Amino acid sequence: MKRLLLNAGVFLCLALILNSCSKDSGVTPTPDPEPPVSTGLNFPKKEMRAAWFATVWELDWPGIRGEAGQKQKYRDMLDRLQELKFNAVIFQVKGMADAFYNSPYEPWSASISGTRGVDPGYDVLKFLIDEAHARGMEFHAWMNPYRISTRADQSGSFAALPSTIPSAWTIDLPTIRIYNPAMPEVRQRLNDIVKDLISKYNVDGIHFDDYFYPSGFTYNDDADFTKYGAGYTKKEDFRRGNVEKAIEGVFNTIKATKPEVVFSVSPAASRSYNYNTMFADVPKWTSSGWVDILIPQLYQEIGNSSNPFEGNLADWTQFRGKAQLVIGHGYYKFGASDGGAAFQNVEQLARQFDLVRKNKYAVGSAIYSARDVMANRIGITDKLKELYSPNVVMPFAGREVAPKPTIPTNLNLNGNELTWKVSGTNLRTVVYYFSDLKAAGKVVGVTRNTTMNVTEKGFYCVTTINVDNLESTATATIEKK
C-alpha cells in the first residue's frame, strides 16, 4: 500500500495538513449501516474481516515459480485465514498496468512467471477466486488505477511500455510512470478493464487503493489544464475533478455491468492529505454513493502526535457518506524493526479493535497484509485469533440484486438437533444464540444446511442471508432447557 513509496517529506506534509479541510467539509453522514434483523433481541455486530494480498514486487504472493507451488502456497495461506475466521480477501490483480488474468488491455503480470506478458499456463484468477469461495470467503479484485511501472531513481529505466498502452497516455515522474489522470482515454481504458474483468470472473468486489495523483512529486500539467480544464478556475480542482470522473465512471460501469459487485476504496489515513496532495475528494465520492465500502488505511498508532488512529477513525466516521466503513490496520508494523515502539506490543491491536467495535458505524477490519498474518511476529496473529474468535456475519454493502431472503419456518429443537425449513434458493442460514432474552447474542454458525447441533442451554433463532449479504428478519426464539 502507500507505505511502500512515501518519503519523509510526505510524512511531514501529513503532519502539517492533518487538521485542515477545504471544500471536502459538510458531508451529511448516513444513518446506521444496517438495521437489526429483529427487534427485542441484542444481535451481535456484523463484521467484514479482510486481508490484503499485495502482488507488486511479489510481497505477499506468489514469490515462487510454477503452478503447483503457487497453488499450494495460496491454499496454505487461505487455510490459515479461514482458521482465523477471515471472511474476505482483497487480492491485487492489477498493480503495475498488468494482470493476473488474460486481459486484452494489459499484459500478464511478471510476478507470476518472472517475465511480463508470459502466460503462466493456467487461469490464475479463476483459481484464486474459486479457492476463496470454497472457504466461504469473498474475493475482491484489487486494482491500482494509474501506476504503470516504478524505478529506483532517475538514473534507472522504467520497464518497457506494453504495446497496448499508447505512450501519449502516460506521464513519467522521477520514480513512477503513470497513466495520465487528465485524459478521457485513460478513464475509458480503466472502465474497459473493470468491465472486462467483472464480465469474465465471479469477483465479489473491485477495490482501489490510495494511489491517485502521485504524492511527493512536482510536475507540470499546464497543457492538460489548457486542453481539458474547461469549467475549472483552479488546477487543483481540475485534478480532483479528473479523479472524481474516474471513480464515478468505474462505479457506473460496475452498476451497469454486474451490479452485485461492490466497489471499495482505501484512502490514506488523513482526509486532508487525500484532498490536498493526491487530489482525491473522498467525501464527495462517498456522499455521492460512488463507493460502497470505504476502507481508510489507519496505520498509525493510537495517540500518534500528528496522525492519531482515534482521530482519523472519528473523522472518517463523519465523512463515510453512503459507504459502509471498514478500518484498515497497519498489521505489517507489529514486531517489525522499523514499526515503532507502539507496535512492539500486541495490545495496540486490541485497543484499535476495541475502538472500531465500539464505533456503531464501523463494520469490520482489513489487515495489511497477508504475509504478516502468516509471520506472527511477537505473537500478533495469536492476538488476532483471540480478537476474531466470535463468529460473525458479513455486512450488506452495495446494491440489492438477488431476491430478498425469506424468513425460515418450522424452527424446531429435538434434543440437541435444531432444525428449520428454508424457501428460496442460494440462501444460507445464520443460527443465533442468547443465554437469556436480554443478553447479547452470538452467532453459532452460518450454514447451507437446515439443521445444526446445539448444546448450550438458552434461546435460539435463525435468519437467512442471501448472496448480497442481505439478512431476513429472525424467527421467534426457541428455548433449550
CA distance 58 to 55: 4
Strands 170-172 and 176-179 come out as: antiparallel
Q: What is the pLDDT of residue 18?
A: 36
Stated as kind and residue range, the H or E segment containing 240 is helix 235-257
Tell me which residue of 383, 405, 406 sits closest to 396, measured CA to CA: 405
Question: For the chain, how far is it from start to end, CA to CA, in angstroms?
Answer: 51
Q: Provide the 3-class DSSP secondary structure of residue 207.
A: strand
| Residue 318 burial class via C-beta count within 10 angstroms: exposed 0-12, middle 13-18, buried 19 and up | middle
Q: Which residue has the cell 440437541?
A: 416
Amino acid at 320: R
CA distance 389 to 322: 29
Q: What is the pLDDT of residue 36?
A: 52
| All three cell numbers of 367 | 489487515
Q: What is the pLDDT of residue 446?
A: 97
Is a pLDDT exceeding 90 seen at residue 71?
yes
Is a pLDDT exceeding 80 seen at residue 28?
no
Q: Answer positive or negative: Cα dihedral of 151, 164, 229, 322.
A: negative
- Quick one: what percent of the chain has pLDDT higher than 70? 92
Is a pLDDT exceeding 80 seen at residue 29?
no
Mean pLDDT of the chain: 93
Q: Are 431 and 451 in contact (CB under 8 A)?
A: no
Q: What is the pLDDT of residue 37?
A: 60
Is a pLDDT exceeding 90 seen at residue 4?
no
Q: Answer positive or negative: Cα dihedral of 89, 92, 94, 99.
A: negative
Cα angle 78, 373, 384; round to 5 = 105
What is the average pLDDT across 360-366? Answer: 97
At 177-194, the pLDDT tens digits run 999 999 999 999 999 999
CA distance 320 to 271: 11
CA distance 432 to 242: 47
Q: Which residues neighbour 305 within 8 Å (Cβ) at sequence distance 6 or greater? A: 15
| All three cell numbers of 457 | 442451554
What is the average pLDDT across 387-416? Answer: 97
Is a pLDDT exceeding 90 seen at residue 450?
yes
Q: What is the pLDDT of residue 25?
A: 37
What is the average pLDDT across 330-354? Answer: 98
Domains of the chain, start order: 2-387 (3.20.20.80), 409-480 (2.60.40.10)
Phi (first) and psi of residue 247, to 5 degrees: -65, -50
What is the average pLDDT across 450-473? Answer: 97
Q: What is the pLDDT of residue 219?
A: 87
At 200-226, the pLDDT tens digits run 999 999 999 999 999 988 889 999 999
What is the average pLDDT across 421-428? Answer: 95
Is a pLDDT exceeding 60 seen at residue 375?
yes
